[in-house]
Structure 1
Amino acid sequence: MNVLFLCTGNSCRSILAEATFNHLAPAGWRALSAGSRPTGLVHPRSLALLAREGIACDGAASKSWDALPLTPDIVITVCASAAGETCPAYLGPVLRSHWGVDDPAHATGSDAEIDAAFLRAYCTLRRRIEAFLALPLTDLQGDRSRLQAELDRVGALT
């Protein structure tokens, strides 16, 4: 199964989710990330946080959803639509879920406050990814409606 974490800029949240998912995922599951309007660079604080957590991020790049090397099975948007951010709508024949997370790239304040915003985003995504991967994935692969319900339930975890 291929999971696409999608946002607008593909510089922070979707990068954090992609690397974390791939770090934790069982064999046969793979995450990618992309943006509808990629910034063209991965935020350095995202890379530093992943390095501190011991998560490989070699080859992390901000890329467009038009340049995907494969068609995903699941698309998870991570934009914070409640903050007025426009979430991209992936129109392919996939399962879709929304796991909104505030964008740490817009955090302001001291270095410690900005780092805390990145850590909050990472921790939220990691909790959701861990909850998703704890599901009986083999059973769920054959039951799209149940998988959809579980994806949506996990996306509501704080």
Structure 2
Amino acid sequence: MSRNSIRFIKLIRSFSTEATQISKPERIADELLNLNKFERHDFTILWRLKMGLDRYGAPVAGPGPLGPTSSDPTSAAATAAATEKTAFDIKLEKYDAGAKIKIIKEVRSFTDLGLKEAKDLVEKFPCVLKKGITKDEAGPIIEKLKELGATVVLDN
């Protein structure tokens, strides 16, 4: 955040019950109108974080008026469908020592790693080989590594 944004935040926090005719919301609105474009951007990010909103503006699931209620079965089903994991990690648990070179070559084929980086990654098992891929992309990779003698899991 910029220095002006930090000063603005401190200014908002320093508001106290002063004996003025202007109400606190009016003072805050006046200060917001005086911010430049970058300060407004920093303020909106800070505001969303303080309000518990994610980067897309949807409320974070939890108890309260915006979260799911236990009395509504359709909202529970919708929440379960919305939280279904779509991105997975491929995790190498262990491998046969004789198949180490083949596994390193296979790791290089589906990552952008060089020979040394792939070797170091495979040698420090258990480790995550690839992050954030779909089940469809992970299936062939896992099958190939299992054929080579590695124990691989799809991690949530």
TM-score class, shorter: under 0.3
Q: TM-score, normalised by structure 1?
A: 0.24
Bigger Rg, which one: 2
Q: TM-score, normalised by structure 2?
A: 0.24
